[in-house]
Chains A and B, each alone.
Chain A
């Protein structure tokens, strides 16, 4: 950034204004203006500078902002950020306020005075308007903000500031980083500052400095470093290298190789994560089936539609409380459990119990039911897909570094699946209901002889499995559109997961779902998404031939027929 003059000549200002679009030329003009001495006086006190902001031209604003950032006033960082975000408001009378929101409707609430920082109330929303900026000004502002933030007490803000400076390295930014480096206590930020400085050093005229810089950078996987190093080993149009020194080139090539290896490792990690999150979806979809099919031995082809009902419950909950998306999502979990669970109890009482011991007939009847449920949803909600909004904490992603970031919704689904799984295990292993469920599934006649009301247990077990399917629907509504065919898409996968894991084994379902998810994602880059799915299906078909009882077969005599 060029050295800025304290005063400026009116003619130079007009001249500059004419050439605003060409900033390089404009910079020259400002240099010229510096030489031409007499000028209008810009205010020097902080209060006066702030007050002058709303009316100043864009060029004057730039100068004023420079001064404000150098003023050391504790309000300065706040003010610059507010201006950058369009939250800096001015009244007709020239008062300047910082608002908490750039939204016009909300801007008048939560105002604070730009000079003192004190909260201000009773300002008419009509009377304030945001102070305008243009692209060039915002670019400068971002640099100023980043430089100011380097001194911030918040480590997160400092780290962001370093990243921001690194993206657009210039002299002022480099100087600010150099000044910060000895003061910085946080080691991770220290590291990224030295990376940024080394990146700047790559432009140095001294080959030794460049070499040292390359060595510092080697292994840093951020894309700025990667691009910086790649420019070193690229050739000019005439065939000569952009980097004249062979040592630096070799070091750069080595550094790039290191970066690529590390990136590959992170890429593998990302694939693994995608696989685990897909696996979690599969486990969620299948775990209800692991109860109804695995524990009870009932083929419920309407399982997918119970998932769909859960997803629609989320949709309805959101319609009921459109202002509280996060709350509606949390309330949807018990609501979907109840809706799908009750439907499940209805299915058990109305259909399944009459077909006890006739699995193929159960399969057909529940399939018919799934058609009816699908059509019912089409009649009630329309055949079109409905989209369910995600609350704020679900959107965005957790960026670990440039090569590896995980989206929150996929991350949360893994945790959600684990919670559901743990809850189910607790119910089955630690409650009296769970004890009876296991007893009935192991030996129905004996359980009845011991006084267990098997009909009630059947209905409750089926309801439990169906309710879990509904809960899975809540999770799926956050990943895909909610439509009448939602359940159909998961029914074959769910059965595959349960059969692969071993019927009757919840842990088997967990492990099989997770491994199928990971295998699917591992195959995807190599074979394409559809082919990966086909390969997994074929693998499963072959696997079931080899081990018809799955990965973790139940032991004992009850499994023989």
Chain B
């Protein structure tokens, strides 16, 4: 009995989670193997750009899981979650930028190119030490986590809820967008951070490094899913769901609603930050465009399409919508926004439970 509950709590035994983990394992093994082991002309060969693309999708899936955690389980609709994603990305970007060293266009051993270009004489204080990976790793967690903690502490304590919260999260990411566009901020302004050379001493362009990053992302996604799953299955998760369904009642029973919300909110922001940090070395650039409010709203749509409140649904939605985006923007660029818009409307009107909900409904009807 005890073993059964423990295994249920620690290992995902429901069907969705099993499928998710099996698929993830399959992709983690298959993609690198087919990329490395088969030749260029082979039928089974997976080209390098596809590896990067799938890696990108996995980062998005992680971000979607983070959003699902707070929206699907806690009822907080964040329209600014890419702010945390981008902050994690910028922390990683700063590390990668410092690794360029003298290989930059201006060959300055300390200053990144854009600072030389702007005629800066020394590093701003927040760039110090970012050439150490351990510090960058701490910042990847700390920057989004701290921002989320401070923001959430104020917002939840003064009981800003529902639509109001959504709007101020949007304002938050919008303010960061404007701020990061400024050259004076010291984050490369409009162009952002790019032209990275290597990570931890390995060449970023090398196939092996790319595959290693891919595997790291897959592992991170698996861990993110596992911990999120653990959180929502724990007693904490029960309280969080109660907050979603009846916030006042939960408070009257005696739970400190603010603390629960703050905890899950900060955790979700950290997850988003890690996803951003893994995203940057794979796409090779981070710029203020990542803060754009529309990106955050798109993430919400991935979750809605996949099915909120299931975690694996969010991951599924992220991959599906982004695959559609990759396809449409290449094949029919002018149709993409119509399709995305229609997806928003269609899913909210006709598929409130998303694809996952649709599938289980169909399965129930057949049974």
Partner of B175, one of A368, A369, A534, A548: A534
Chain A residues near B304 (CB, 8 Å)? Answer: 364
Among B35-43, B158-166, B225-233, B270-278, the one that faces the other chain is B158-166
Most buried by A among B154, B170, B172, B175: B175
Bits for B237-253, please: 1 = Cβ < 8 Å to A, else 0.
00000000000100000
Contact A367 B297 (CB under 8 A): yes
Partner of B171, one of A367, A371, A379, A496: A496
Bits for A353-384, please: 1 = Cβ < 8 Å to B, else 0.
01100011111110111111011001100000
**Is A426 an interface position by the 8 A CB rule?**
no
Contact A541 B162 (CB under 8 A): no
**Is A542 an interface position by the 8 A CB rule?**
yes
Contact B342 A368 (CB under 8 A): yes
Most buried by B among A364, A374, A561: A364
Report the minimum CB–CB distance from A317 to chain B (whole Å).
26
Contact A372 B342 (CB under 8 A): yes
Contact B348 A355 (CB under 8 A): yes
**Is B34 an interface position by the 8 A CB rule?**
no
A542 to B172, CA, bound (A): 10
Among B95-103, B127-135, B177-185, B311-319, the one that faces the other chain is B177-185
Chain B residues near A495 (CB, 8 Å)? Answer: 167, 170-171
Contact (A369, B182) CB under 8 Å given A355-B349, A363-B163, A548-B159: no
**Is B337 an interface position by the 8 A CB rule?**
yes
**Is A123 an interface position by the 8 A CB rule?**
no
CB neighbors of B among A503-552 (8 A): 530-531, 533-534, 537-538, 540-542, 544-546, 548
- B151's closest neighbor in chain A, by CB? A541
**Is B338 an interface position by the 8 A CB rule?**
yes
- B154's closest neighbor in chain A, by CB? A545
Chain A residues near B174 (CB, 8 Å)? Answer: 492, 537
A351 to B341, CA, bound (A): 13
CB neighbors of A among B317-367 (8 A): 334, 337-338, 340-345, 347-349, 352
**Is B301 an interface position by the 8 A CB rule?**
yes
**Is B199 an interface position by the 8 A CB rule?**
no
Report the minimum CB–CB distance from B338 to chain A (whole Å).
5
Report the minimum CB–CB distance from B152 to chain A (whole Å).
10
**Is A82 an interface position by the 8 A CB rule?**
no
**Is A499 an interface position by the 8 A CB rule?**
yes
A354 to B163, CA, bound (A): 18
- A535's closest neighbor in chain B, by CB? B175
A96 to B243, CA, bound (A): 90
Contact A372 B158 (CB under 8 A): no
**Is A80 an interface position by the 8 A CB rule?**
no
A495 to B341, CA, bound (A): 21
Chain A residues near B294 (CB, 8 Å)? Answer: 488
Contact A544 B181 (CB under 8 A): no
Contact (A372, B181) CB under 8 Å given A496-B171, A499-B167, A541-B175: no
Q: Between A and B, how many residue pairs show CB distances below 8 Å?
A: 112
**Is A98 an interface position by the 8 A CB rule?**
no
- A299's closest neighbor in chain B, by CB? B163
Contact A368 B345 (CB under 8 A): yes
Chain B residues near A545 (CB, 8 Å)? Answer: 154-155, 157-158, 160, 168
A371 to B334, CA, bound (A): 12
Contact (A364, B160) CB under 8 Å given A371-B344, A375-B341, A495-B167: no
- A540's closest neighbor in chain B, by CB? B171
Most buried by B among A359, A365, A369: A365
Chain A residues near B248 (CB, 8 Å)? Answer: 561
Report the minimum CB–CB distance from B357 to chain A (whole Å).
14
A220 to B244, CA, bound (A): 67
Contact A530 B178 (CB under 8 A): yes
- A498's closest neighbor in chain B, by CB? B167
**Is B293 an interface position by the 8 A CB rule?**
yes
Report the minimum CB–CB distance from B100 to chain A (whole Å).
28
Chain B residues near A548 (CB, 8 Å)? Answer: 158-160, 164
Contact A363 B77 (CB under 8 A): yes
Report the minimum CB–CB distance from B366 to chain A (whole Å).
28
**Is B63 an interface position by the 8 A CB rule?**
no
**Is B64 an interface position by the 8 A CB rule?**
no
Report the minimum CB–CB distance from A169 to chain B (whole Å).
46
Chain A residues near B337 (CB, 8 Å)? Answer: 371-372, 374-375
Bits for A483-498, please: 1 = Cβ < 8 Å to B, else 0.
0000010001001100
A522 to B301, CA, bound (A): 39
Contact (A368, B182) CB under 8 Å given A374-B337, A541-B171: no
Contact B348 A372 (CB under 8 A): no
Most buried by A among B166, B342, B343, B348: B348
Partner of A378, one of B158, B163, B334, B342: B334
- B346's closest neighbor in chain A, by CB? A368
Contact A537 B342 (CB under 8 A): no
- A297's closest neighbor in chain B, by CB? B163
Partner of A541, one of B157, B168, B297, B341: B168
CB neighbors of B among A328-370 (8 A): 351, 354-355, 359-365, 367-370
Contact B172 A541 (CB under 8 A): yes
Contact (A365, B349) CB under 8 Å given A371-B341, A492-B174: yes
Contact B334 A531 (CB under 8 A): no
Chain B residues near A359 (CB, 8 Å)? Answer: 162-163
- B347's closest neighbor in chain A, by CB? A364
Partner of A375, one of B166, B178, B334, B344: B334
Contact A360 B77 (CB under 8 A): yes
- A492's closest neighbor in chain B, by CB? B174
Contact A534 B166 (CB under 8 A): no
**Is B300 an interface position by the 8 A CB rule?**
yes
Contact (A364, B182) CB under 8 Å given A372-B342, A375-B341, A542-B154: no
Contact (A492, B172) CB under 8 Å given A364-B301, A534-B178: no
Chain A residues near B171 (CB, 8 Å)? Answer: 492, 495-496, 537, 540-541
Chain A residues near B151 (CB, 8 Å)? Answer: 541
Most buried by B among A367, A488, A546: A367
Contact (A530, B297) CB under 8 Å given A360-B77, A364-B348, A541-B172: no
Contact A368 B163 (CB under 8 A): no
- B159's closest neighbor in chain A, by CB? A548
Report the minimum CB–CB distance from B123 to chain A (whole Å).
22
CB neighbors of A among B179-196 (8 A): 179, 181-182
- A537's closest neighbor in chain B, by CB? B175
A363 to B182, CA, bound (A): 30
* Residues of chain A at the chain B interface (Cβ within 8 Å): 299, 351, 354-355, 359-365, 367-372, 374-375, 378-379, 488, 492, 495-496, 499, 530-531, 533-534, 537-538, 540-542, 544-546, 548, 561
Known contacts A354-B349, A542-B154, A544-B164; 20 additional CB pairs below 8 A are: A355-B348, A359-B163, A363-B166, A364-B297, A364-B300, A364-B304, A365-B348, A368-B345, A375-B334, A375-B341, A379-B334, A492-B170, A495-B171, A496-B167, A499-B167, A533-B178, A537-B171, A545-B155, A545-B157, A545-B160
The 18 sampled A-B contact pairs (Cβ below 8 Å) are A351-B349, A355-B349, A361-B352, A364-B297, A364-B304, A365-B348, A371-B337, A371-B340, A372-B341, A374-B337, A492-B167, A492-B293, A496-B171, A530-B181, A530-B182, A534-B175, A542-B154, A546-B158
